A and B are shown apart, each in its own frame.
Chain A
Amino acid sequence: MMKLRKNKINTRSSFNSDEISKPVKNEETKKKHHRRRKRLRHRLDSFRKPEDLNKSDITIALAGNANVGKSVIFNELTGSNQIIGNWPGKTVEIAEGKLHFEGHDISIIDLPGIYSFYTYSMEESVSREYIAFEKPDLVINVIDASVLERNLFFTIQLLEMKVPILICINQMDIAKQKGIIVDIEKLEKALRVPVIPTVAIRGEGLHELMEKAVDILDETYNYQINPIEYGAEIEKRIKSLTQFINSKELKIEYPSRWVAIKLLENDPEIRKRVEAESREVVGRAYLLAEEIEKIHEEPSFAVIASERYAIANRISQGAQIQQKLKTSFSEKLDRLVTHRVWGYIISAMVVGGLLLWTFIVGDFLSGILSEVFSFFQPVDPQVSGSIISILWNGAFGGLVAGVTLIIPFVIPFYLMLSLIENSGILTRVAFMMDSAMHRIGLHGKALIPLVLGYGCNVPAIESTRILENRRERLLAAFVITFAPCSARTIVIMGLVALYVNIWWAIALYVIDIVVILIAGRIAYQVIPGETTGLIMEMHSFKIPSLKIALKQTWKRTKSLIYLVFPIYIIASALIQALYAFGFLTPIANLLAPITVFWLGLPVFAGVVLIFGAVRKEYTLLMLVALFGTNLAAVLTPVQFIILALVSMLFIPCLSTMTIMLRDFGWKATSTIALANIVTAMLVGGIVFRIINPFF
């Protein structure tokens, strides 16, 4: 039995009915709300009585397509009490939050957005396993009212899983803007499941949704889950196979009708599991599937998918009225953003804007913070003195590094990223930039993480989660580790622009872009796995909610703080102590063949580079700590350039490594780090030999 891994136990939050059921339209509803509040308060009181405690441990899962507003609903319902768990063995995130509502203690699970239960992606198999094995007490199927047909395709499959289900038809406002009016009663009749309309972003309907959910859970509202029937030819075969499965009494968590359909669809995972129990069933399924294929001259899974879509089409056509509308503002905007000239200009503006946002806001805040910290204590690495003061200085330096990373660079990024993600601009930029990004084997979507990488690698790598599969995420992360973040910019500027000239600094950036292109291409060939082609839904533009963006930002930041801070502080203190007690000098001497003979650097460069691995600016700070500000006395111009180049490429900084470790594991992280080192040495050595004669 798989269990959702929990990182930490959290506290309960009570559900505020005022907040989610606004706006109040008239007197009548006002009164109703008042009554409801009274009732809620009453129930809240009654909850504190011990006899009610057995009502806890109710689980409700939110399931549905991507971008239908599941996370918005989740955030509205659970407030800040959320934990992110990882499904064992997979990197798919499942968020869990607590809600206290009408005397119930409810766990809400936000399942990843999926389109089908066929196990094509990790998200799909995780959602399927969750519903089958964890058996949530209720599944709320969130549906986008403006794209009814596509969403119902998933609803039909969910009904086949025979779990208690409640349908939340969300984004009613967007549907209205598109001229689509959904008839809730007709939809309820067709699906034979309760349907609640909502506009989650404004909190409308969420109270009703939870009330209905509680009614279902309390069994004050009873209904039968009836799977929808297929056309006669297929239905006959599904029924016959279901009966056959029932007669065999298989030990499988899934309902027999669902297993029958999956077998007819030739789902490899289900086939394997049934095969272990009864070969007869699989054999029978094979024969029936062949009959279907004979009749329709199409693979049986295609026949079933077409049929399912036909049903979805029938239901959606019956339950919605499409009015002709004038071109809406969002459509006009869409045309502009994907225009063959303006589209690129806007894409460039989005990308450039993010970049500027990073540099300007990040640098500004980081400058202020450093000032504040240095007021208390100098942050330059201290290399002599008592052990306590060295450790303290190192730990303090680590803390400063953490704070000056998180506050100026990470938080503004996450906020902006969240806004861009939720508005739908990101999809358009991905659409426009796809062919350009293909040159380094990535989708258009990977452009955003890459651009973020120029600000700071840490949020950039974290944001690779917007990509579809592990291979693409890994590929993007690898490319990102070469992107010169703002810390590396400080080194390039501080060493090269200051002591050589600005043109060489710019040249380093150019070299970097070439390295990214080449490394990306090589990694594309080397990293195992298939490339999945790009298929994604183009959602309508939405005005992003600042509240949701802030919540997402906080959630992401929080998990980063827990991760980065301890490592920063400990590692920084440790390396500093190691150096002060002379352990690093032997290592530097050991590295001398590479640093001195291959790269043409002085011996102490080894130490400087090791410090740079903690935090890239340390390369510069360490040099200053060792030799003071007159660095021109100890390094030649060529050495400045090579040192900056190598420190730019040679290893991701400690926090980048930590985040990669969490997302990709030891193997991938060490491989990437090694690839970085090799690239840095190779490029550094070659550039040294090329430019040396010119000075």
Chain B
Amino acid sequence: MSPNLRDKKISENIEEYLETIYRLSNNGERVKTTRISKTLNIAPGSVTQMLKRLDKMGFVEYSQYKGVKLTDSGFKKAKSITRKHRLLERFLHDILKLKNNLLHDQACEMEHSLSDEAERALCQVLEHPDKCPDDYTIPACDLPFTSCEECMNRNEEGIDQVGKRSENLLPIMELKDKQQGKVSFIRGDYKIIRRLMDMGITIGAKIKVIKVAPLSGPVEVAIRGSKLIIGQDIACNVFVELTGDENRL
């Protein structure tokens, strides 16, 4: 195996691990090694070895008994690869009409070679999908737009021109109770954005999650001095930058 090819293999491997931890960890919770080993079908020993390496690279925090947790940079990488994976699944399903049992493996193969520019084009062609065929939420891109319409309007500008967002965006449905943030991006067409704006969910508004109803139910948020209930299908499209607790609502 040539050194180049081996590097590629290694980086794909890293991405695969990060993606798995991202999927298994629920909102920053630690993931046990055994779960990763079961999901990836790799011996626990090898998994531990890899996690230690990822820890050294600064992608995860690993401790022997508690399990593993993504760091900020690890989260960013994991989110980006997960986004590519789920977008590709959507593409394979909607456009190529591939059978459901083939989607995952095919997307896994393709995700590592999908460039950011191609990812943006894919997202536009698919009309900014919010869910992959298995009903997982597709993470937001890290382009600095506040709406998909803006992304379309500034299509001539390449990604190196528009730059990237430094903060991580989270959909409000993935926030924990009492977490708060600033509304930074709303995915979807004008109709949904308009409704949200009228209800006070404007870009830049401070929002706090009061409670997420169990069984992936709606999210209760505090915004502009009042409380709103937002169903999951909308809540997965409202993205926030987390802010500290000092900002009272």
Contacts and interface: CB of A to CB of B under 8 A. Distances in A.
A535 B230 contact: yes
B233 to A, nearest CB: 4
B197 A534 contact: no
B150 A298 contact: yes
A537 interface: yes
A569 B226 CA distance: 50
Interface in A123-168: 147-150, 153
B182 interface: no
Contact of B146 (A116, A297, A312): A297
Contact of B231 (A301, A316, A443): A443
Interface stretch (B6-14, B47-55, B92-100, B212-220): B212-220
B150 A120 contact: no
B24 interface: no
A534 B234 contact: yes
Interface string B103-147: 000000000000000000000000000000000000000000011
B193 A535 contact: no
Interface residues of B, number: 39
A348 B58 CA distance: 48
Interface string B204-231: 1100000101111110100011111111
Residue among B195, B198, B214, B227 with max Cβ neighbours from chain A (10 Å) = B198
A301 B199 contact: no
Interface in A519-549: 531-539
A305 interface: yes
A209 to B, nearest CB: 23
Interface string A154-193: 0000000000000000000000000000000000000000
A293 B150 CA distance: 9
A340 B150 contact: no
B135 to A, nearest CB: 11
Interface in A285-307: 293, 297-299, 301-302, 305-306
A434 interface: yes
Interface string A434-450: 11100000011000000
B228 A149 contact: no
B157 to A, nearest CB: 12
A338 B177 CA distance: 12
B225 A150 contact: yes
B229 A431 contact: yes
Contacts of A536: 228-229
A432 B218 CA distance: 8
A535 B225 contact: no
Given A298-B146, A338-B211, A338-B213, A534 B200 contact: no
Given A299-B149, A306-B197, A435-B213, A538 B228 contact: yes
A679 interface: no
Given A306-B197, A432-B217, A534 B229 contact: yes
A115 B196 CA distance: 11
Contact of A435 (B147, B195, B215): B215
A206 to B, nearest CB: 24
Contacts of B228: 535-538
Contacts of B229: 427, 430-431, 534-538
A302 B198 contact: no
Interface string B229-244: 1111110000000000
B202 A150 contact: no
A664 interface: no
Given A120-B194, A534-B218, A538-B220, A115 B199 contact: yes
Interface string B136-170: 00000000001101100100000000000000000
Interface string A412-436: 0000000000000001001110111
Contact of A431 (B197, B213, B224, B225): B213
Contacts of A115: 198-199
A309 interface: yes
Given A118-B194, A306-B202, A534-B218, A150 B146 contact: no
Residue among A118, A120, A148, A150 with max Cβ neighbours from chain B (10 Å) = A150
A150 B195 CA distance: 14
A522 B64 CA distance: 50
A316 B225 CA distance: 10
Contacts of B227: 537-539
Contacts of B230: 533-535
A106 to B, nearest CB: 31
A427 B230 CA distance: 12
Interface residues of A, number: 43
Contacts of B194: 118, 120, 301, 305
A153 B224 CA distance: 11
A298 B224 contact: no
Interface in A321-354: 338, 340, 343-344
Interface string A55-71: 00000000000000000
Nearest to A267: B194
A313 B197 contact: no
Contacts of A338: 211, 213, 220
B27 to A, nearest CB: 16
Contacts of A297: 146, 150
Contacts of A539: 227
A533 B224 CA distance: 20
B148 to A, nearest CB: 10
Contacts of B217: 431-432, 434-435, 444
Contacts of A538: 220, 226-229
A150 B200 contact: yes
A297 B225 CA distance: 27
Contacts of B150: 297-299
B110 to A, nearest CB: 31
Residue among B146, B150, B204, B217 with max Cβ neighbours from chain A (10 Å) = B217
Contacts of B200: 149-150, 153, 309
Contacts of A150: 199-200, 224-226
Contacts of A533: 192, 230-231, 233-234
A422 B211 CA distance: 22
A532 B220 CA distance: 17
Contacts of B220: 338, 431, 538
A213 B218 CA distance: 41
Contacts of A534: 218, 229-231, 233-234
Contacts of B234: 533-535
B195 A535 contact: yes
A302 B194 CA distance: 7
Given A149-B224, A338-B213, A435-B217, A306 B204 contact: yes
A432 B231 contact: no
Contacts of B153: 293
The 5 closest A-B pairs by CB, nearest first: A534-B231, A533-B234, A116-B198, A305-B197, A538-B227
15 contacts: A116-B198, A147-B225, A301-B190, A302-B146, A302-B197, A305-B202, A313-B224, A338-B220, A431-B213, A434-B218, A443-B231, A531-B233, A535-B199, A536-B229, A537-B229
Interface of B: 146-147, 149-150, 153, 190-200, 202-205, 211, 213-218, 220, 224-234
Interface of A: 115-116, 118, 120, 147-150, 153, 293, 297-299, 301-302, 305-306, 309, 312-313, 316, 338, 340, 343-344, 427, 430-432, 434-436, 443-444, 531-539
Given A299-B147, A431-B218, A537-B226, 14 more contacts: A115-B198, A118-B194, A120-B195, A148-B225, A149-B224, A302-B146, A302-B193, A309-B205, A338-B220, A432-B214, A443-B231, A535-B199, A535-B228, A535-B234
